[in-house]
A and B are shown apart, each in its own frame.
Chain A
């Protein structure tokens, strides 16, 4: 009897939490959208004191940061997964996994500290910048932070491949690189795809480390590929301004709206990652 009660209680609590979460998000950001419409999402100016709430600088900033992170982390993580599963002898794999587990556990605030103390001065000295605070710094830091996610999930992808495939490829006389390109990578691809989507979501939502190095200035990079100037991401904006916005003000609900936009982006990524990859017909 108590068992049923407990189970019912936890199911109801969880449903209540979900309702609470969705309700809060829409309720808190509704005043903003009803007052300003949805046009601020592509607005270029964000000056809370003049009631200008354009999301675009932060959206562009987030997109750049995650793009840099993926460009670096995806090849590295994938290579690390292939090396640790396909090349390293079995007995070392556990050690490598331990290392990755530890890495994945390092708190983001510690990465932020590393970024401030190591990365920013390094960028300043080597690229001759006034300040190292930049999208490049945020992207580099993010790439280290999403690396364990990508490596771990891609490792699982390669481990899950049936050994029959490897044996069949061997019997066909394919050499190691041919096996990798023609057999293993296509087999692992669906999982790698969802791994990178999940990593993208994590990177987009990363707050503290990005906030410490991105510079938090609401400007779209000018020209668009100039990654060496201070910028803003959605998360860093929320993190910076939430403390100062007064409850119920326009700025407050604008920040909540940023949260809603962020949540929607990440949820869509996650849902795409969960829907099974449709194989081409000839497979």
Chain B
């Protein structure tokens, strides 16, 4: 009796954790879907004179999507090689003490708010190095944000490989490079990809750090160089949300949010299934 009562109470307490998110997503779909018409994607105004007062120009939402994707792709391609190098160092050369020091330092840096990394980028890249508000500054800031997570994930992935495998590879006289390629890569690639996809999802969803370092509200369709500003979905939604009194702007914000969430969820769902397979194999 008391068991059923306490189980029931727990379920009741747990309900918000499982129901609130579903409600949030449902509301997002409800508000966002109607706005996904051809003008949102900039298809209907094609060829017509550009209406400057309207939110949707001839390119629709595509510049923002491209900006987000570009920032995310650049950040991850900076962070991934670094993360791999760091974790290989940790696995191949580091002693016990420096291994645990590294994990602690990374965990601490992982907890530092993204906003502060944004401040760092603002001071160092935008002003000190005179890059201005630019794609490069934003990408490096995002790379700094995901680097600790990505490295920790890679370290865990490599640590899960049985030492017996590595030892026997060594005793066969394989070089470090051969061990990495022929022994570790086949074992760890799923977990590495999981980490990478989670990092992509993370970089796509961070807003605060790129607000001052990489993005402008409008006027950019495609950045000319690494040193020019971009627009991004995240900051676009933020700017629109600040104008939340206007129903039309709000509708545009919901549709943009729906696109962003779809992108992010896509990557985290891929990561989820990759991860599940990798733990099934063990």
Contacts and interface: CB of A to CB of B under 8 A. Distances in A.
A281 interface: no
A110 B260 contact: yes
B92 A7 contact: yes
A267 B113 CA distance: 10
A82 B116 contact: no
Interface stretch (A35-43, A92-100, A223-231): A92-100
Interface in A61-112: 75-77, 79-80, 82-84, 87, 94, 96-99, 101-112
A169 interface: no
Contacts of B20: 144, 147
A69 to B, nearest CB: 13
B212 A243 contact: yes
Contacts of B257: 109-110, 113
Given A24-B120, A102-B265, A247-B127, A267 B14 contact: no
Interface residues of A, number: 81
Interface in B224-280: 234-235, 237-238, 241-242, 244, 250, 253-254, 257, 260-261, 264-265, 267-269, 271-272, 276
Contacts of A20: 120, 124
A58 to B, nearest CB: 13
Contacts of B120: 20-21, 24-25
A80 B269 CA distance: 20
Contact of A76 (B6, B16, B127, B269): B16
Contact of B119 (A10, A96, A177, A259): A259
Given A98-B269, A105-B205, A113 B254 contact: yes
The A interface, classified by DSSP as helix, strand, loop or mixed, is: helix
B24 A10 contact: no
Interface residues of B, number: 82
Q: Which of B16, B114, B235 has the most chain A CB within a 10 Å cutoff? A: B16
Top 7 A-B pairs, shortest CB-CB distance: A205-B113, A10-B85, A107-B205, A79-B13, A80-B17, A270-B111, A207-B208
Interface of A: 3, 6-7, 9-11, 13-14, 17-18, 20-21, 24-25, 28, 75-77, 79-80, 82-84, 87, 94, 96-99, 101-114, 116-118, 144, 147-148, 151, 175-177, 180, 198, 201-202, 204-208, 212, 235, 238-239, 242-243, 247, 255-256, 259, 262-263, 266-267, 269-271, 273-274
29 contacts: A3-B176, A7-B92, A10-B81, A17-B147, A18-B105, A76-B17, A87-B11, A98-B269, A102-B265, A105-B265, A106-B25, A106-B205, A106-B265, A109-B205, A109-B234, A109-B235, A109-B257, A113-B237, A116-B244, A144-B21, A144-B24, A175-B2, A177-B2, A207-B113, A208-B207, A247-B127, A262-B115, A270-B111, A271-B108
